[in-house]
A = this chain, B = another copy of it.
Amino acid sequence: MEYRISPRVGSLQSSAVRDILKLTQGKDMISFAGGLPAEELFPIEAVRAAADRVFSTGKGALQYGLTEGFVPLREQLCGRMAAKQMKVTIDHMLLTTGSQQAIDLLVGVLTEPGDVVLVERPTYLASLQVFALHGLQVVACDSDEHGIIPESASELIAKHKPALLYSVPTFGNPTGRVWSEERRKQILQICTEQQVPILEDDPYGDIKFHEDETYPSMFSMQDSVDGGAVFYTSTFSKTVAPALRTGWIIGDTSVIRMMAKAKQAADLHSSTLDQQVLHQLLAGFDLDAHIAVISKDYKARMLEMDQLLQKQAVDGLVWEKPKGGMFLWAQLPEGLDAEALLKAAVPKGVAFVPGSSFYAREPQRNSMRLNYTYNTGARTEQGIVRLVEAISEFTARS
């Protein structure tokens, strides 16, 4: 039979990153493409011990759970949120299958097809997929190194009456940028006044390279959680391990309740084995000390890549040194197309994500995102050598 495929799904681009990941499954491929954490740092023995404690609690551990998520884990997360000046109760919180699901569910609750969503430019590509699937029109605010430019936000809000503003203010994906505190306050104020809810996506906030600096969330700056503009989502994928697929979102109780209703239909609930493992892990493991170890290691990897790129001194290649997170955002000489470069790079055994993936429209074609957390040492060096070789040949041909 011929199937009638929903046009929204049919026209959806498969994630460029995941398609490249498939390409790069050959052994000799060095990938700077994915947003993969370093496996060497996964606290697998602590996770194993936590799982063992879960099984020791008895067979009830394997029963159906609450849609909202395992209560003791939500309680622990309330404590962790409070340490960052985000004061919430478990009723303000929904556990999700990674923070990706939090984005999807909130968008489902707060938007209708045809609505406008405001984003940074560039922005997280899998959020663009969510917006496309929900039939939203994506409008990008002008941004600089301090975050979204308030005048641009004000103007676009007045013009489009957006249903949501989506942002990654701390170590943005793909740029690695951090919004200034002043900008956070300004955007929060504008959105509060204009009644535009904000989804503050913070998967990387813990992975910071300057211990003394703090980057307060917009969520922590609002007067009240209930009725507040900001919904904040984060995940254990980068701080513990991605396979456990556990994220959370906090915000207004009534909206969280609606999201739980939508989640009932979507999957009843996320893995409670994973949630219980994380609960047991947090009870017996110093996650903050572990995060400090990861951050230190990732900083070293970032500096390693930065120095390799400096050493290779590619004419016209520029990048910002990120203050945290997992990505280095680089610009090729004006006029070079990173998608075309990728096609030249893959046969040489190196991959990255072309910057165009992170734009809903009018992409900046000469940019690319390099992940520095997955590889290290000789592999990073070899990868950068291959990349630079590809760029040189490509430039010579252009």
Contacts and interface: CB of A to CB of B under 8 A. Distances in A.
Contacts of A276: 243
Contacts of A133: 108, 262, 265
Contact of A243 (B6, B14, B65): B65
A191 to B, nearest CB: 9
Interface stretch (A40-48, A172-180, A346-354): A40-48
A2 B194 CA distance: 11
B48 A62 contact: no
Interface stretch (A78-86, A139-147, A252-260, A388-396): A252-260
A39 B65 CA distance: 13
A138 interface: no
Describe A's contact surface by its main secondary structure: helix
Given A12-B265, A271-B273, A59 B34 contact: no
B3 A255 contact: yes
A370 B129 CA distance: 42
Interface string A146-190: 000000000000000001000000000000000000000000000
B63 A5 contact: no
Contact of A266 (B61, B100, B109, B261): B100
A51 interface: yes
Contacts of A15: 264
Nearest to A45: B55
A113 B108 CA distance: 14
A137 interface: no
A282 B62 CA distance: 17
Nearest to A227: B1
Contacts of A242: 62-65
A51 B129 CA distance: 33
Interface residues of A, number: 84
A172 to B, nearest CB: 19
A369 interface: no
Interface string A102-132: 0010001111110000000000001001101
Nearest to A262: B9
Given A4-B110, A48-B55, A62-B242, 14 more contacts: A1-B192, A1-B229, A2-B195, A6-B112, A9-B261, A42-B59, A51-B52, A64-B242, A96-B267, A244-B273, A245-B269, A245-B272, A245-B273, A267-B267
Interface of A: 1-7, 9-10, 12, 14-15, 18, 34, 36-37, 39-40, 42, 44-45, 47-48, 51-52, 55, 58-65, 67, 96-98, 100-101, 104, 108-113, 126, 129-130, 132-133, 163, 192, 195, 197, 227-229, 237, 241-245, 252, 254-255, 258, 261-262, 264-274, 276-277
30 contacts: A1-B197, A1-B227, A1-B229, A5-B110, A5-B255, A6-B110, A7-B112, A12-B261, A12-B262, A42-B59, A44-B58, A44-B61, A48-B51, A51-B52, A64-B237, A97-B268, A97-B270, A98-B268, A100-B265, A104-B265, A104-B266, A126-B265, A243-B273, A244-B271, A245-B269, A245-B270, A245-B273, A266-B266, A271-B271, A273-B277
